[in-house]
Amino acid sequence: MWLKKTLSPSVGKKLYLSFTLMLVLLIIMGFTGLDKIEQVQGKTNEITNSWLEGVEIINNINYLTEHVLSSQYAIMSEPDSNQKAQLIQKTDLIFGTIDQSFSQYRKSFVSEEDRKLFDSLESEWKQYRQVYSDTIKLSAEINLITGSGKRADDINAIIDKSQEQYDKMQDKIDQLVKLNHDGAILAKNESQALYKSAMTTSIAIMALSVLLGLCLAFVITRNISKPVRIVSERLQSISQGDLTMDRVSVKNKDEIGLLVSSLNLMVDNLKGTIHHIQDTSSAVAASSEQLLASSEESAQASKHIAASIQEVAQDAENQVQSGEESSRAMEEMAIGIQRIAETSSEVSELSLEASNQADLGNQSIQDVIQRMETISGSVEQAGEDIKQLAQHSDHIGNIINLIGDIAAQTGLLALNAAIESARAGEHGRGFAVVAGEVKKLAEQAARSVEEISEIVEHIQNDTAKAVGTMTKSLAEVHGGKDAVHEANEKFQLIVQASQLVSQKIQEVAAAAQQMAASSEEVSASVTDMSGRAKHAAAASQNVAASTEEQLASMDEIASSANALSKIAQDLADSVSQFKLKQS
C-alpha cells in the first residue's frame, strides 16, 4: 500500500499523455487547415459569385446597349412604318432585358465604389432612354429617305446627343468592368496568400509534432527499457539457481518500480523457502526410514490373516456355484415350460383360426354347390337347345332337297321348251330365249342348293359334335356336384375336429401355465438360496479383499516410505542447486 501511495504517474498515463499531446497537435493542424481551406473557399466563391458574375453582367449590358444604339439608328432610317414598329417592339424587349441585368447586378455589390459607379451608370442609362424616346418621336414625324427638310438640324442634334450619352454610359461600363476585374485579381491574390499561409502553418505543426513525438518516444523508451532489461537479467540468474545477487534498485515510481519491488520480494521469499525446504527434507528422510520398517512388520501379519480368510472364501464360493447350477437348471426348466405354454397358446389360436377358416370354407362350398346346380341347369338347357337346332337343321336339309328337285324339274322343262321352240322355227325363237334364261336360273338354283347343302351338312356335323360335348359336360357337371357334396361333408368333419383340438390345446396351455408358475416359484426359492450363499461368499471375499487391500496398503506404505525417502533426497539435491549467501 505504501508503494502505491508513492507512485508517480503510471506508464499507462504517460503513454496516454504522450498520445494525447500528439492528437492535440494533429487536431490543431486539422482545424487550422480546415479554417484556411474555408477562407480560400470564401475567396473562390467571391471571385465566382461576385466579381466574375459582375463582369459577365456588365459585358452583357455593354452588348445590349450597343444593340439598342444600332436599333435606334435603324428606326430613324426605316421608311416603312410597319418595319419601324417591329424594330421598336424588338428594342423594347432589349430594354426589358437590360433592366433585368441592372436588377441582377444590384444584388452582387461587393464594395461602396462598385455601388456608386453602378448608380452613375444607371443615371446615364435613364438619360439615354429619354434621348431614345425623343428619337422615336422624331422618327415618327420625318422620313430620312424622302427627305428631312427643315428638321435636319434636329436630326443631327438628336444623333449627337445619343452618341454623347452612349459614350458616357460606355465610360461607366468600362469603369465597372475594370473594377470587377481588379477585384477578381485581388481576391485571387488573397486566395493564394491564404493557401501559402495554410501550407506554412501545416508544415510547422507537422514538424513540431514529429519533433515532440521523437522526444516523447526517446524519454518513454529510456524510462521503460532500462529497468526491464535489469529485471530480465535478474530473472535469468534466478532461472539458473543463483540467489546471491543484491536487491535491484531503480528510480521509477510507476508500474516498473512496482515490478522491481515485487522481484526483490520474490527473491527474499524464495531464499526463505529454500532454507525451509532444506531443513524439512532432512526430517522427512529420517521419518520415512522409520515408516518403512513399521510397514514391513505389518505386512507380514496381514499375509497370515489373508491366507486364512481365503480358505473360508473358497468354501463359500463352491457353495455358491452349486446353488447357481441348481438355479440355472430350474430357470431353464421354467423357460422350457413357459415356451410350451406359449406354443400351446399359439397352437390354440391357430386351431381357432383353422376352425374359423373351415367354417368359411364350408360356406364357400355351399356357395359352389348352388353355383354347380345353376351350371347344371344351364348345361341341360343348352343341350336341349342344341338338339332342337339339330332338328331344325334336318328340316332345312329336307327343304333344300325339295328345292334341288324343283330345280332339276325346271331344267327339264327348259330343255323341253328349247326343243319345242326349235321345232317352231322363227315363231318359237322368243320362246327359246325364255327357255334359255329359265335353264340358267335352274342351273344357278342347283348350284346354290349344292352349296347350301354343304353348309347345312357342316352345321349338322357341328351340331352333332356340340350335342356330344354338351352330354360329356353335363356328365362332368353331375360329377362335380357329387364331389362338392362330398367335400362339404369332409369340411363338416374338419370343423368338428378343429373345435375339439382347440379345446384340448387350451386345456394343455392352462396346465402348462400352472407348471410354469410352479417352476418359477421353485426357481425363486433356489435363486434366494443361491443369493444367500453369494452373500456369504461375498462377505468372505470382502474380508479377504479387505485383508488383501490392507496388505496392499502396507506394501504401498512401504513403497511410499521408500519413495518419500528418495523424494527427500531428490529435493535436497534440487535445493542444493540454488546458491545462497552464507549467514
More confident residue, 173 or 291: 173
User: Containing H/E element for 277?
Assistant: helix 255-424
Going by C-alpha positions, the residue among 495, 500, 502, 494 that lies closest to residue 345 is: 502
Torsion angle, alpha carbons of 153, 157, 159, 164, to 10? 160
Greatest mean pLDDT range, 98-107, 195-204, 293-302, 522-531: 98-107
The DSSP output letter for 254 is S
Mean pLDDT of 282-289: 66
Residue owning grid cell 484556411: 36
Global pTM reads 0.34
Name the band, by pLDDT with cuts 50, 70 and 90, for residue 404. confident
Name the band, by pLDDT with cuts 50, 70 and 90, for residue 301. low
| Summary mean pLDDT of the chain | 72
Query: Rounded distance, CA 280 to CA 297, Å?
Result: 27
Q: Which three cell numbers stand for residue 343?
A: 406354443
Question: Looking at beta carbons, which pairs linking 272-280 to residues 24 or more positions away fall under 8 Å?
Answer: 274/243, 274/575, 274/578, 274/580, 275/580, 277/571, 277/575, 278/572, 278/575
Share of the chain above pLDDT 90, in %: 0
Q: What is the pLDDT of residues 482-495, one digit of tens each?
A: 766 776 676 677 66
Predicted local confidence at residue 7, as pLDDT: 46
Asked whether the predicted pLDDT for residue 363 surpasses 80, the reply is no
Whether 8 contacts 254, CB under 8 Å? yes
Asked whether the predicted pLDDT for residue 124 surpasses 80, the reply is yes
- Residue by residue, DSSP assigns 153-214 as HHHHHHHHHHHHHHHHHHHHHHHHHHHHHHHHHHHHHHHHHHHHHHHHHHHHHHHHHHHHHH
What type of residue sits at position 507? E
Distance of CA 243 to the CA centre of its chain: 64
Asked whether the predicted pLDDT for residue 125 surpasses 50, the reply is yes
Torsion angle, alpha carbons of 437, 442, 444, 449, to 10? 170
Give me Rg for the CA atoms of the chain. Answer: 74
Half-sphere exposure at residue 528, Cβ-oriented, CA atoms within 13 angstroms: 5
Query: Cα(first)–Cα(last) distance of the chain, in Å?
Result: 31
Mean pLDDT of 282-303: 64
Greatest mean pLDDT range, 30-39, 74-83, 481-490: 74-83
Predicted local confidence at residue 2, as pLDDT: 39
Name the band, by pLDDT with cuts 50, 70 and 90, for residue 79. confident
Q: What is the pLDDT of residues 207-260, one digit of tens each?
A: 887 888 788 777 777 777 777 777 777 777 777 777 676 677 766 666 767 777
**C-alpha distances in angstroms, 36 versus 184, 199, 209, 391?**
19, 9, 19, 139
Query: Rounded distance, CA 255 to CA 92, Å?
Result: 90
Q: What is the pLDDT of residues 534-579, one digit of tens each?
A: 675 676 567 567 667 666 766 776 676 677 667 767 766 666 666 6
**C-alpha distances in angstroms, 16 versus 205, 343, 411?**
20, 93, 151
Asked whether the predicted pLDDT for residue 429 surpasses 50, the reply is yes
Q: What is the pLDDT of residues 90-115, one digit of tens each?
A: 988 988 998 898 888 887 777 788 78
Predicted local confidence at residue 6, as pLDDT: 44
Q: Which three cell numbers stand for residue 371?
A: 353355383
> What is the SS3 assignment for 464-504?
HHHHHHHHHHHHHHHHHHHHHHHHHHHHHHHHHHHHHHHHH
Predicted local confidence at residue 4, as pLDDT: 43
Whether 176 contacts 135, CB under 8 Å? no
The DSSP output letter for 147 is B
Torsion angle, alpha carbons of 20, 25, 26, 30, to 10? 140
Can you state the percent helix, strand and coil of the chain, rounding each to 5?
90, 0, 5
Q: Which three cell numbers stand for residue 288?
A: 520415512
Q: Which three cell numbers stand for residue 271?
A: 531464499
Query: Rounded distance, CA 189 to CA 183, Å?
Result: 10
Predicted local confidence at residue 93, as pLDDT: 92
Q: Which of 143-147, 235-239, 246-250, 400-404 has the lowest mean pLDDT?
A: 143-147
